[in-house]
Structure 1
Amino acid sequence: MLQPYRDLAAVPRVPGLLTWTMLGRLHLTGTPLAMSFLIAGWTDSYALAGVVGAALMAGIGVAGPVRGRAADRRGAARLLVVTGISYGVGLTVIAFIPSLLPAAWWPVMAVAAFVVGLSNPPVIPVSRAVWPRLLKGPALNSVYTVDATLTELLYAVGPLLAAFLVALVSPAASIVISGALATVGALGFAKMLSLAGQSGPVPASTDGETRRDRVGLLNTPGILASLGLALCLVAALLMVDMTIVGWAREVGAPILAGVLGAVWAIGSGIGGLVAGGLSGMPRLTRRVLLNLLGVAALVPVLPPVFDPASPWLIGLVLLLGGAAIAPAAAAANARVGEIAPPERRTEAYGWLSSASTVGFSIALPTSGFLLDHGGPSVAAAGAVVFVVLGVLLAVRIPAPKPVPEPALS
């Protein structure tokens, strides 16, 4: 089981690329929390904080495919440097707007957040697109699993670090440090790409099928279904997060939300490590089905179906169900890289990031409505609906056809 990880570690530059891509993503998991504190403290309105946060995410989502296509056509390293510096400077400016303008000027902050989001460095799509050019076989499956597992860890660590900085210093300082992390991560990742010989544009393939694919990436069989799957999985996972938070607040023990979230992340990490060590092609539909079972198991252990609910039982369900998260995400990410034309993989992963952002935006109000009108078990059932849609979409994603890699100069 450990052999794929040994193969992965033996490939030059891959451990360094993994390290820097995770550092380059860390800011994304903590910035929304710091932004909420900053805007709510400035305007005395959590609703306005949500508007500004949504504007930032909208900018990031819009820029995803554009940045990905630019990386494919003109190379990723220079793009990462320019966007990394721009994004870091932009977040620093945002951090000081509340001290310079009255709260009535909050629309200026929303516009600024959207513009800054447009300059978000495309670390995620670039990193996911580069793995098929460096790795093959079990090692390639393993790197996508490690990627998904570490991303789960970032979503546990990032908000904690941001909250610590907010409490210890200020929300503005937390945002400035998020910007600095974005810049340092993007620059370090760009340097590692150069050392690995992957900093330039991806040469176009010459076969007829790939030339037709270049006419429209979204027309490639399976791409739209993959985007829909990403949207559904992200929406479902966020709805489960919100369900846990809502139940913890209902029972007057907010700390349980953090504890149960950590248990869920641990389950995902264990599942990811096991799945990454398995040989053979991952079965996407099977992994999404296992994810469905894990989410569905939450419905009968939450109120009003099971009241009062037991935190021990909820924790056990989250631990076991969480084991399917990272494997499903890894298989979905890998499948996009397999079915997308090689010279447009980064753009494909940019679209995938945008789809995830849309899932995030849909899940927040949906989970809030279901919690208000039905309770935690109903909100969990809403997450089940999204994963069911994900299963139906996974079935429509074709198995990859062998595509010759373009020669790299």
Structure 2
Amino acid sequence: MRTPTGTVNRVLRPYLLLAQVPHAFTLLGAGLLARLHQPAINLVLTFLIADRTGSYTAGGVIGGAITVGQAVAGPVRGRAADRAGPTGVLLITGCGYGLGLFAIAFLAGPDSRLPAQWWWLLVPVAFATGLSFPPAGQVGRAVWVRIADGPARQAAFAVEATAQELLFVVSPILAAFVVAVQGAFAATAWCGVIGAAGAVVFAFVLRRAGIDAVPAAGERPGGEPLFAARGFALALGFTCLMIGGVISVDLLLVGWARDRGTPELAGYLAAVWAVGSLIGGLLLGASARRPRLWLRGALVAAGVAVLVPVLPPVADPGSPWLVSAVLLVGGLAIAPTFAANNARIGEIAPAGRRVEAFGWLASAGMVGSAIAAPLTGALLDASGPAAAAAAGTALALAAVCLAAHPSVRTRSAEDTPVP
């Protein structure tokens, strides 16, 4: 029988392992600060553009332009960071991103002289802003591969994935509060300030930690092409499909809540799902065993599948309390799954190409979102939330099939411990 003390020690294990890595918690905190704006940006832009034009579609297009810019530039920014080091890239992109958001805020703000019907002129500005998106996430993940190994590296990815769930809970709430108190213009400007300042702080912390502008010897780009690395393409496919499955749940919750006449319910349900993921990260992320990505992915797929019988039209009108319980339990495997996937990408990618590899990973996730959005919307219109949940399950199961391939499951030679 496991004692309460044993359970607490197990939960704290990753943090104790991470504490043994020099600068680990400073790097983690700075990396999360640099990403604090990310979950809020589409929300504040939707409010900003809708206030100016009266159109949510326009807000979606502007937010989509930023996302496309991020997806296009992710691998390029990563390649630049691998060549010249991350600090310079963070400083340049952070400043460009902040200026881009300020430009959008002033052009779409209440005092703008730009006619509302000319909102489409903001699309290239938004795209350029996305191109300048600071690569804090991909740099932060590549750092763990460089400064930690073995159980400490697994702990680093587990703690980061769990902490990131807090961003997806806290950031939209803070953004909504600023919108309510100061307005969408101020919220957009604050996102610009935090995005730029966070990138600068992260660059400073990296330099203080000795991970400065000059790559370590033997870690400069070159050698084997990234997509020739065993299992890399399949791991990207896993990311694309799994994120598509997860995003479909976020979208169907919005549709279901709106159809019930209680749109505020969507935010509550999304928070419950994030809390489930946070709890799962604290529990499963503390495991001392090497994670099996396909098994964790299968648990995510099961969590999405269980939504099918509790949503309309299978269960009509559906119980928010029952759906909340399903989301809380079903979300347990999400953070551990993405932590294991990030660790696997770090193992697969050749030395000197890891920031670029995580850039491709981010782009794959955005492609998954682009696949899930129209598919979920069409199924919501045609058949209802249960059908959308079934489609999300199918995407997640397809991801599991990719993760089960031996090239993804097997540890690379350079990461195999010496007896």
Deviation at 1:211, TM superposition (A): 5.7
Q: Of 323, 328, 332, which aligns to 2:337?
A: 328
Note if contact 1:204-1:343 (Cα within 8 Å) is conserved in structure 2.
no
Q: Of 190, 215, 218, which aligns to 1:177?
A: 190
Q: Determine the C-alpha separation between the residues in 2 that align with 1:308 and 1:393.
A: 36
Moved more, 247-256 or 127-136: 247-256
Corresponding residue pairs, total: 401
Q: 1:310 to 1:196 in 2, by over 3 A?
A: same
Deviations 1:25-64 (A, max 9, x none): 1111111111111112222222222111111111111110
Q: Of 26, 37, 54, which aligns to 2:64?
A: 54
Partner of 2:44: 34
Partner of 1:382: 391
Partner of 2:145: 132
Note if contact 1:129-1:345 (Cα within 8 Å) is conserved in structure 2.
yes
Matched residue of 1:243: which SS?
Answer: helix
Partner of 2:129: 116
Q: 1:353 to 1:382 in 2, by over 3 A?
A: same
Matched residue of 2:352: which SS?
Answer: helix
Give 2:71's aligned amino acid.
G
Deviation at 1:154, TM superposition (A): 1.2
Partner of 2:16: 6
- TM normalised by structure 1 equals 0.94
- TM normalised by structure 2 equals 0.92
Q: Determine the C-alpha separation between the residues in 2 that align with 1:25 and 1:100.
A: 32
Q: Determine the C-alpha separation between the residues in 1 that align with 2:217 and 2:390.
A: 45
Q: 1:206 to 1:82 in 2, by over 3 A?
A: closer
Deviation at 1:212, TM superposition (A): 4.3
Deviation at 1:341, TM superposition (A): 0.3
Q: In percent, how many aligned pairs have the same letter? A: 47
Matched, 1:340 2:362: no
Q: Of 290, 306, 310, which aligns to 2:315?
A: 306
Note if contact 2:293-2:409 (Cα within 8 Å) is conserved in structure 1.
no
Q: Of 396, 408, 413, which aligns to 1:402?
A: 413
Deviation at 1:172, TM superposition (A): 1.3
Deviations 1:284-313 (A, max 9, x none): 111111111111111111111112312221
Matched, 1:255 2:264: yes
Q: 1:379 to 1:312 in 2, by over 3 A?
A: same
Gapped runs of 5+ residues in structure 2? 1-9
Q: Determine the C-alpha separation between the residues in 1 that align with 2:180 and 2:332.
A: 32
Q: Of 33, 45, 50, which aligns to 2:55?
A: 45
Q: Determine the C-alpha separation between the residues in 2 that align with 1:51 and 1:262.
A: 25
Deviations 1:43-89 (A, max 9, x none): 22222221111111111111100000000010101111111111111
Deviation at 1:204, TM superposition (A): 6.2
Partner of 1:143: 156
Deviations 1:145-199 (A, max 9, x none): 1111222221122222222111211211111100100011101111111111112
Q: Determine the C-alpha separation between the residues in 1 that align with 2:283 and 2:172.
A: 26
Partner of 1:356: 365
Give 2:106's aligned amino acid.
F
Q: Determine the C-alpha separation between the residues in 2 that align with 1:404 and 1:50.
A: 43
Deviations 1:368-399 (A, max 9, x none): 11111111101111101110111111112242
Misfit runs of 4+, over 4 Å: none
Partner of 1:73: 83
Q: Determine the C-alpha separation between the residues in 2 that align with 1:175 and 1:263.
A: 26
Matched residue of 2:412: which SS?
Answer: coil
Deviation at 1:139, TM superposition (A): 1.7
Deviation at 1:3, TM superposition (A): 2.8
Q: Determine the C-alpha separation between the residues in 1 that align with 2:121 and 2:24.
A: 42
Deviation at 1:203, TM superposition (A): 4.0
Q: Determine the C-alpha separation between the residues in 1 that align with 2:301 and 2:396.
A: 6
Deviation at 1:144, TM superposition (A): 0.8
Deviation at 1:226, TM superposition (A): 1.2
Q: 1:264 to 1:403 in 2, by over 3 A?
A: same
Matched, 1:91 2:101: yes
Moved more, 330-339 or 3-12: 3-12
Partner of 1:199: 212
Matched, 1:18 2:23: no
Deviation at 1:107, TM superposition (A): 2.5
Matched, 1:105 2:147: no
Q: Determine the C-alpha separation between the residues in 2 that align with 1:126 and 1:232.
A: 23
Partner of 1:316: 325
Note if contact 1:143-1:276 (Cα within 8 Å) is conserved in structure 2.
no
Give 2:403's aligned amino acid.
A
Note if contact 2:219-2:351 (Cα within 8 Å) is conserved in structure 1.
no
Matched residue of 1:239: which SS?
Answer: helix
Q: Determine the C-alpha separation between the residues in 1 that align with 2:97 and 2:14.
A: 36
Note if contact 1:5-1:139 (Cα within 8 Å) is conserved in structure 2.
no
